[in-house]
Amino acid sequence: MKKIMFLMIGLILAVSSLSFSQGFAPVGTSVAQFLEVGVGARPAAMGAAFTALDNDASAVFWNPAGLTDIQNGNFFSSYCKWPADITLAGISYAYNLKNIGVLAVSGVYLMTDDMEVTTILDPQGTGEMFNISNYAFGLTYARALTDRFSVGVTGKMVSEKYWTYGYTAWAVDLGTLYRTGFHGMRIGMSILHFGPDVRYDGEFIDFSDPKSVDVDKPKPFNTFSLPVNFRFGVALDVLNHEQHRITTAVDMVHPNNNSEQYNFGMEYGFKQLFFLRGGFQSSADEGGLALGCGVHATSLGSLGLMVDYAYSDLGILSSAHRLSLSISH
C-alpha cells in the first residue's frame, strides 16, 4: 500500500516537473481550452481553490482522489454560461464500492450557436454555417489507502471539432489527497489532462507562406499539447462548530500554457444547510473575483440535494454564471 502511495506521488511530481522547467508563459500553445474552464458552481465561487476539497462527484474535475469521501452514490451536474454565447455543461456520477474503492463516470461538453463561415475571399460570410463540438468523457477510480490518504486516477477521451477539422485523443488525470487531522486540514495534489500531443485532421492553406498560396499547396497542421495543469492545494477549517463552519482554501496552479496562478477561497456554512462563498484568482488573464451561495436539503428522507450558484468576474469579457446540482443517496 505504501509503495502505491509513493508511486502516485512520484508520478505527479515527475510529470509536474516537465511544466516547471519552462521559464516563460507559452500562451496559445495548447488545444482543448474548454478543459480549463472550471466545472461546478461551488469550486468557481471559491476562486477555483478546490484541489483539497471534496464532498461530491465534482471532484473528478479537480482531484479524483477526493471521491473517497462519498459515502454511497452521488450524481452531479453543472451548467455554465460563458461569454460569446458559449455554454459548458458537466456531469458525473460516483459510487462507493466500499472495500473495492470508488468508481465514477464523467463528461464535459462545450456547445455554441451556429456561426457563419468566413474566408479571405468572403469576409462577410459564405452562407455556410458551422458550430463547435468539444467534449471529454472519463472513467475514474479512487481508493483510500489509509484512513487519511487517498489516490485517484481518471482515463478520458478528449475530442474537438471545428467545422471539418478536429481530433480525438486520450488523457489521464492523477490525484492524491491527505487529511492531516489538524483542524480539518487537507492537502491535495493533482495533474490534469496529461496526454500525447495531438494534430488536427486535414490540411490548410498557409496564407503567410507564398509557396502554399501560389501553388495551392495545403499544409498539415502542427502538433499541439493538451492543457496540462499541475495543482497543489491546502484547505483548512478555521471554524468548525455544530452551527457554523468556515473553510479556507488556497491553490497553486501551474499550467503548461501560461504563468502560475494562485487561487484563494472561503466558504461559510450555517448548520450545513446554507452556504456563502467567495474567492479570488490572482494572475488571471481577466477578472478574478468570484462569489456564490448554496442550499442543502433532503428529499424523501434518503436523498440529499445541494444546489449551488456562482458568479465570476471576467473583466472585459463581462461575467460568467454557473449553476450546479448534486444529489446524494
| pLDDT, tens digit, 9 for 90 and up, residues 227-277 | 999 999 999 999 998 899 999 999 999 998 888 889 999 999 999 899 999
Q: Does any domain span residue 106?
A: yes
Q: Is residue 126 part of a domain?
A: yes
User: Domain for residue 277, yes or no?
Assistant: no
Residue 252 lies in a domain: yes
Q: How far is 294 from 195, CA to CA, in rounded Å?
A: 35
Residue 232 lies in a domain: yes
Number of domains comprising the chain: 1
Domain holding 86, by residue range, is 2-272
Q: Which of 324, 322, 313 is nearest to 280 (CA)?
A: 313
Residue 292: inside a domain: no
Task: Tell me the average confidence (pLDDT) per consecutive run of 10 residues in the chain, 329 residues long.
Answer: 51 49 62 91 95 91 95 95 89 95 96 83 83 92 94 96 89 96 91 94 78 73 91 94 93 88 95 94 80 86 89 88 94
**Inside any domain, residue 325:** no
Q: How far apart are CA 224 and CA 32, in angstroms?
A: 10
In this structure, the dihedral spanned by the alpha carbons of residues 241, 247, 248 and 251, taken in order and rounded to 10 degrees, is 150
**Residue 159 within a domain:** yes
Alpha carbons 130 and 234: distance in angstroms, whole number = 43
CA angle 142, 69, 307 (to 5 degrees): 115
Residue 234 CA to residue 178 CA, distance in Å, equals 10
Q: What percentage of the chain has pLDDT greater than the value 70?
A: 89
What confidence score (pLDDT) does residue 125 get? 82
